Chain A
Amino acid sequence: MTAAPFPATLAPVKRIPLWRRYLRRPLGVVALAVFAVVVAVAALASWLAPYDPNFVDFAITHAPPGNGHPLGGDSAGRDILSRLLAGAQTTLYGAVITCVAGLVLGVPAGVSAGYFGGATDRICSWISDALQSVPGMIVLLVVAAGTGQNFTVLMVALGVFLAPGYYRIARARALAVRKEPYIDAARVAGVTNARILRTHMLRAVYAPIIVQTALTAGIAIGMQAGLQFLGIGSASTPSWGQMMNDGFQNMLTYPLILLWPSIALGVTIAALAFIGSTLADLVSVRVELPTRRGVARVRQALEAGTSSGTHAHQAADCALRIENLRVGYASPTGVKKVVRGVSLDAAPGEVLGIVGESGSGKTQTLFSVLDLLPPGGTAVADGIWVGGEEVSRRSPKERAALLGRSIGYVPQEPMTNLDPCYPIERQLAEPLRHVHGLSKAEARQRARDILVRVGITDPDRVLAAYPHQISGGMAQRVLIAGAVAGRPSLLVADEPSTALDVTVQAEVLELLRELQREYGMALVIVTHNFGVVADICDRVVVMKDGRVVETGPVEQIFRRPADPYTAELISASLDDAEGRDELDETWLDRRTAQEGAR
């Protein structure tokens, strides 16, 4: 039995429940408190209200606040505060009915449509789309025309129109989750569809549905008030919309009558909206760039750092030279250092491999050379030389000017590295025209020539094609063509063959080798595969946890690895490992020997 590389104790990671995390957000807490007050007031309206909301006292018609009527009287001589409190009850009752109707219609339909797909999905989606294209207000007024007195029916109808909101979210989530292998695994494990819907699917949609409910409640209250403002609803049931209408009629003479219900409505809706947005923030992280202070913090944390790795050439002779590179990201728990002091170099015409497992920092090193780290990443180095010149002190703009001219870049994943909205020709010709100043016709001709050079036999078809119309291997050739189009002196490639099939991989490596020799470029290639290293590299840098473990010529690394980690990595590639038949033989021998000994 092989010993599993597993730590005896796991670092305790606590799962903090959603509501606990919610309570840490001040804005969310305030919004929740405000909403709680509205709910409490609505629940206790009949005890809190100083008067019967429908009691008419002509003496207080249009009365200003005071004399036992804290908010004054309305145009029919009724106490505004009492009506406001009773209106809260109506408002919340309507919102609950609407949300429940929307939930009941939208969520099960959405989850089923996403999970089952096919006809279920087509029919449900058509209905949802149709509902969204119907001017809801008109249909609601039609419903109200006959059932004006029946508030509940009207609110259910409103819920029907808000159901597509729930449907879309539930369906989108279900569709995404449906593709996850854990759903297939559950089916293979004998879990029924009903149970999968009830457990896995519902768990997946739960959080976004809560967010949606907060937003829907806000919208429902707004639309409800709009309907009441138009005169829908019984006159004997006080409502905020109705009060706003009353205030609107007397807006010029008694503006206060309009003020109170408007404030109540605005505050309630805003509270719900902020509850919803706080929840949404917790569920999905809104991307934000780090602040200037954050960057400074990362820089400070990266200040100290000892270098690892060695140089083989003079700085002035190098196509690329990196001295003590550090890369860090700001994270909520501090600064995460992903590269911790890396030094390496590559001469013109040399192929340098950077090899390591995931998380070793090899790709981050490459992106630092390009000055194209993902947002939040900061790189600090004692020096970066490109073509014999120090560039790490240059401005971002000057660094960007190196790209496409001195440095070419070949990415890992061919299909995601072409802009899906433009044909190949545009993507190849655009840099030629705007970076290298070629005319339109020249750029096209040059693009066509390079495509032929990278082994594409029908360049005209490929030039006219969109990325989704060509295969992965073809796309990778196009990307290589784009990288070498500007005749760079340094080509950096990030796992250029990993996403490809083995046979295509060999072709791409061969192409890179040919181009590298033909143009006399330095090629820096990042890979996790020692087979690729053996195939193409002259020298190798082995990385682990953001540091260089060892550097050396390729023969030396394979024949006499200085570091045990390098040896472990090389032996892990299964080329020379025992096959199953040999493994079984040794196992059987050992077992017979053990039994014999007994």
Chain B
Amino acid sequence: MLRFIAKRLVSGIVLLVVVTSGTFFLAHLAVGDPTAGLLGNNATPAQQDALRARIGYDQPVLTQFRQWFSRAVTGDFGTSWRNFQPVADQIALRVPVTLSVVMVATVLSAVLGLAVGVACGLRPGGPLDRVLKLASVVLFALPGFWVSLVLVTWFAIQLKWFPAIGYVSPDRSVGDWLRSITLPSVSLALGAIVMVAEQLRNGFLQVTNQDFVRTLRARGLSRRRVTMHVLRNASPAALTTLALMFVGLLGGAIVVEIVFNLPGIGSLTQSASQIGDIPVLLGLTAVTVVFVVIVNFLLDLVLGWVNPKVRER
């Protein structure tokens, strides 16, 4: 078990290094000269040179990378090229907002996906199952921001049940916090819920048709007990989907945050990308990859617990 954990940890760190380094070079390749974006078109060449020197852009890319990497390893992601604030501080300020939305969306997907998936798996072809199928077809493909625009116009502007925009910290009022993140979370989660449910439903049916289920029933076990066996066997695919969805939700949150005007990492990513603020973008990449690595690690632990065969690999 320890070896299993160590292996997953190492692979997570490798992923983190590869992705951030890749993004570093990609960004430098894509952005070209950042000074135009940072200073605007009216800057004099002298101003541009000064800025270049200040942000270290006059150095060769490899030197810049070495400097950035050696500091990033210690957790120091440098300062923003625009306002020269430490990147880490800016991100730390915004991560709780995004995490609130994404975590609530993930929990919603897990709980509702489980409930709907099992209900449909028990009665395939029933009314709920047909609804799930239609819903999964459409909601899977529709982007979260599209859904969120629909939800905003309906629930926030027409019905005024929820605030259309803005974020309330849970420190100030938990109720208002929940109200402020309900619509963003729901619009993010809808697609993930139907995906998890559909995945679980299909896995459930596949397992139901396996031989050992008949044998369990032939031993006289009640339907409820047999269902627990089926659920445990069917859960790995749904759990994997849930972890993949988490990654998707992180990306989707960027656009949804703009719609709801939430001060999360979304607006930061957007503004940084518009002016080519590479340190901020790199910091954001690193943070999200860390989240993904943690989620994948948790997934592996759960999968190992669910199915003992996985552990032996």
Contact = CB atoms under 8 A, between A and B. Distances in A.
Interface of A: 130, 132-139, 141-147, 215, 218-219, 222-223, 225-226, 229-231, 244, 248, 251-252, 255, 258, 262, 265-266, 269-270, 272-274, 276-277, 286-291, 367, 370, 372, 374-375, 400-401, 403-405, 407-409, 411, 413, 416-422, 427, 430-431, 434-435, 466, 468, 479, 482-483, 485-486
Given A291-B125, A419-B229, A251 B152 contact: yes
A400 B225 CA distance: 13
B308 A411 contact: no
Nearest to B215: A417
Contact of B244 (A132, A138, A223, A287): A132
Given A137-B255, A277-B133, A411-B214, 5 more contacts: A142-B23, A270-B141, A277-B137, A287-B209, A372-B214
B25 to A, nearest CB: 11
Nearest to B243: A133
B201 to A, nearest CB: 9
A435 B220 contact: yes
Nearest to A375: B209
Nearest to B277: A145
B251 A138 contact: yes
A145 B276 contact: yes
Nearest to A258: B149
A254 to B, nearest CB: 12
B274 A434 contact: no
B247 A419 contact: no
Contacts of B140: 215, 273
Contact of B281 (A142, A290, A485): A142
A405 B220 contact: yes
Contacts of A421: 229, 232-233, 306-308
A274 B211 CA distance: 34
A417 B212 contact: yes
B146 A266 contact: yes
A251 B225 contact: no
A400 B232 CA distance: 22
Contacts of B137: 270, 273-274, 276-277
Contact of B247 (A132, A222, A427): A132
Nearest to A275: B137
A145 B31 contact: yes
A276 B140 CA distance: 11
Contact of A265 (B18, B146, B258): B146
Interface in B196-237: 202, 205-206, 208-212, 214-222, 225, 229, 232-233
A134 B23 CA distance: 10
B194 to A, nearest CB: 11
Contacts of B254: 137-138, 141, 230
Given A133-B247, A431-B219, A466 B309 contact: yes
A225 B146 contact: yes
A404 B270 contact: no
A139 B285 contact: yes
Nearest to A130: B15
Interface string B248-264: 00111011001100000
A133 B13 CA distance: 13
A169 to B, nearest CB: 14
A266 B255 CA distance: 17
Given A403-B219, A411-B214, A419-B212, A141 B292 contact: no
Contact of B157 (A143, A252, A405): A252
Contacts of A137: 250-252, 254-255, 269
A215 B141 contact: yes
A263 to B, nearest CB: 11
Given A130-B19, A138-B251, A138-B284, A435 B157 contact: no
At the interface, is chain B mostly helix, strand, loop or mixed?
Answer: helix
A472 to B, nearest CB: 14
Nearest to B276: A145
B218 A146 contact: no
Contacts of B212: 416-420
B221 A139 contact: no
B141 A420 contact: no
17 contacts: A133-B247, A134-B19, A138-B269, A142-B31, A145-B37, A145-B273, A147-B30, A222-B143, A226-B144, A270-B141, A273-B141, A273-B142, A287-B209, A375-B208, A409-B215, A420-B309, A479-B215
B163 interface: no
Interface string B161-172: 000000000000
Interface residues of B, number: 80
A435 B284 CA distance: 56
Contacts of A289: 123-126
B158 to A, nearest CB: 10
B239 interface: no
Nearest to B312: A468
A420 B307 contact: yes
A275 to B, nearest CB: 10
B233 A419 contact: yes
Nearest to A407: B218
Those 6 A-B pairs whose CB atoms lie nearest each other, nearest first: A404-B220, A146-B30, A222-B143, A137-B251, A288-B125, A218-B141
Contact of B217 (A130, A219, A375, A403): A403
B182 interface: no
B63 interface: no
Contacts of B222: 434
A230 B271 CA distance: 10
Contacts of B110: none
B75 to A, nearest CB: 19
Contact of B218 (A134, A277, A287, A372): A372
Most B-side CB within 10 Å, residue of A219, A367, A419: A419
Interface in B113-135: 123-126, 129, 133
A226 B270 CA distance: 12
B305 to A, nearest CB: 10
Nearest to B306: A421
A219 B216 CA distance: 41
B145 interface: yes
Contacts of A416: 210-212
B207 to A, nearest CB: 9
A265 B138 CA distance: 12
Contacts of B206: 287
A230 B255 contact: yes
B26 interface: yes
B255 to A, nearest CB: 5
Contacts of B124: 286-289
Contacts of A231: 270, 274
A462 B309 CA distance: 16
A222 B142 contact: yes
A222 B146 contact: yes
Given A230-B258, A270-B141, A134 B289 contact: yes
Given A270-B138, A416-B212, A139 B26 contact: yes
A146 B276 contact: yes
B51 interface: no
Contacts of A482: 215, 219
B11 to A, nearest CB: 8
A244 B272 CA distance: 22
Find the residue from B137, B140, B152 having the highest chain A CB count within 10 A.
B137
B153 interface: yes
B100 interface: no
B29 interface: yes
Contacts of B126: 289
B270 A230 contact: yes
